[in-house]
Amino acid sequence: MCQICLLESLSEEVRWPKPLESHISDMKLLVEKAHPFADQFSKMQKQGNLTALEKLQPSLAANVSDLITMLDILDETREQWWNDPKKSKQRKEWTETYQESKLVALQKVNNKTKETIDAMRARLGVCTKWTMGVAGGLEEIKETEGKMEVHIETR
C-alpha cells in the first residue's frame, strides 16, 4: 500500500463528527486521484528513470497539494464544530448537570479526530519527503501550491 493510500485507511479508523463526513468522502476521492501518480512515481524511482520522474513529479505534487488543502479544511471544520456555540452550550449544560460521561465521549471524539488529522498529515509528510524527495516537505508543496522546481535524486 502506498503512503497516500494510508490516508484512506487512517480515515476509516475513526468516528468522524457529522460536519466532517462530507470532507472525508472528498479526501477519499483525492486519494484515488493521487494514487496512480504515486504508484507510477514509485515504479519510475525504482527503475532510476529520471526523465519520467521529472515529468511525473509536478502532477504528483499538485495532487499532494490538494490533499494538504483537504487536511487543512478538515482541521478547520473540526475546530468550527468544536467551538460552535451550540456545542459549547451543550458541553456547559453537561458539566452543570454532572453528565460527565457524555462530555468525556464528546471530548474523545474531538481528540481522536484531531489525532487522526495529525497522523494523516504526518503520513503525507513522509511521502513528500522520502518518496517524492521534496526536502521542504509539506510546507514546500503548500508554499508553491504544488508548482515547484523539480529536483530528483535516485536512491
Asked if the model's pLDDT at residue 56 lies above 90, the reply is: no
> What would the grid cell of residue 46 be?
525504482
Per residue in 138-153, pLDDT (tens digit) is 888 878 766 655 555 5
On the CB side of 3, CA atoms within 13 Å amount to 22
Average pLDDT estimate for 33-44: 89
> Do 47 and 153 touch, CB atoms closer than 8 A?
no
Tell me the whole-structure pTM to 2 decimals: 0.86
In whole numbers, what is the pLDDT of the chain averaged over residues?
88
* pLDDT value for 147: 66
Any idea what DSSP says for residue 13?
T
Per residue in 57-109, pLDDT (tens digit) is 888 889 999 999 999 999 999 999 999 999 999 999 999 999 999 999 999 99
* pLDDT value for 50: 79
